[in-house]
Structure 1
Amino acid sequence: MERTLNRKGDDNDQNISAFDIQTYEMIPTKKGKFLLMFQGYTYSQQHQTRNYYCSKKDSGCKARLKLDCNGKILPTSFIQHLHPPPKYVVMPKGQYVKFTVPKIIDILSPRLQISVHNVTNGKAVDLDWRIYFLEDGYWKHLGMFHEESCMQGETEIRQSPEHCSALQRTPSSVQIPLHQWNILSCLAILINFDSTKSDVIQNLPVRCLKALTCFLPGHKYQFITSQMGKQLILIGGYTFSKPVTGNIWVCSTKNPACKAKLRLDSHQNIVQLYNEHPHRSRYRFFNGIYYRV
């Protein structure tokens, strides 16, 4: 649903940008309501009034819009935001795809929530994708665990997707270069964690995507021995201690607030890593030697 605003050059108009014609759109939400999108920002309606407030008003943004009885944006609207606009991409069939990267990702189940707003039928659907970021801009070695076809174990993918039968049905025409967002239709999604590259998502076939957990071995680390004689993994200045059972190593500080963890495969490769800590690292690297500080 599209509206057009004709700007008549009101001297009191200090907030609306100087365009002869401005448009806004109404995009549906999962709850059956609509968001007003104007200049890339979204606004939610205040009850049944003609007042619209920035969708991030709970975060302190004071931007707001008001429509007149004809559905036009009043020039007294305030459109100065305290944040960049959300990342929406318009699909060829009129769908809006929004990217939301969570601040904290559990590396054992990393996910990127993507909401698809279909303007045509007024419905909004959430697609749950699992992600892992690229190393040095490309996939050196990838093992994947598919929720349908590979439930019994991990499947290695090296030079081509032929190693995984689940990916043989993936049309090559939808694959995007691996240094950008790499989307595999219907069965897999391999995403560079750099969310600034969402422009190439326009080639995404939204209709049938399923979830994968992607593993990327090859992180550099070393084993060290603690003062108590225990074996630790040192990576990025942080240490991880071995569990009594299993192969998931956790931050050696045992800080309840620290969720950092990693997992090794049978060949001692790190296949999962979450190395975000709410505390400083205990080790510093100097002249080829790690020192505890």
Structure 2
Amino acid sequence: MSVWDFSVTILLVSKTREDNLPGITHNLSGITHFPSILKLRILCHAGRDRPKYDIVKSQMGKDLILVGGYTFSQHSIGSRKWVCSTKNRDCKAKLTLDVDGHITGIFNEHCHPPRRYIKTSDGTYIRYDIVKSQMGKDLILIGGYTFCQASSGTRKWVCSTKNRGCKAKLTLDMNGHINKIFNEHCHPPKMYMKTSDGKYIRHSIGSRKWVCSTKNRDCKAKLTLDVDGLNYEIVKSQRGKDLIMFQGYTFATKRDNYWVCSTNHPVCKAKIRLGRNKAIIWAHNVHIHPPKKWLRTSNGTYVKV
């Protein structure tokens, strides 16, 4: 726990007259009694080591507090308490704010590595991750777009599509952090899904169908892959509304292409996001409860049991 040295100014104010007497600075530990005719206004001024923070946006558009690479989300609406935004039960990191939005206390020890952010020229923050290419090489993932190293040993990274018309690029500093980026592409982003263990899996629409590599027109051999359970089905709720059934759990629409756990449990943060073609492009399918039971009928529909 971080502790700060506060200087305390005590302003003595008369009960009968609202005229402020000269402010007197005291050490509170030596004060045991104050005259009954006086009331106190205590103003605390934090020391120089008060932690600084930035505000970044979550994928859902909500404000997060960024401190030392770690992000905190508000515990509840209107609360001054903020907790680690990963929602990891084992992570006890938290902080509190005063009425002016200053950090008054923080416990910033986490059980997981920090997230990666880059600060742009306009002062906003962009989150990025490191993912693996199909060849096992590192790629930098930013907003669905990936960058690969321009050449071995260089700090310059370019769009991994190798599209000649795409000028997107970035550079790293000596510590491997992004210090400059141009993230305007001439093509749509690739699709990645983050699994429960924190890894990213690339998901390309149409990539599940594979045909014979000989390209022989007469050869009809082919196969279809189910990539890590990304398939989902639409079922009906008891009120007749559409629900997405994904890996045994059901999700209800919240807004646009965002779907959240249909139990409406305030603590369950499971959610998925669909792309324009209604394929899953992002999923956090970690629930705090077991899945509900559904029975598939002979006509292919599902009935809740």
Give the TM-score normalised by structure 2: 0.39
Write 1 or 2 for the structure with the bigger share of strand: 2
User: Highest relative contact order (Cα 8 Å, sep 6+), 1 or 2?
Assistant: 1
Give the TM-score normalised by structure 1: 0.40
Write 1 or 2 for the structure with the bigger share of helix: 1
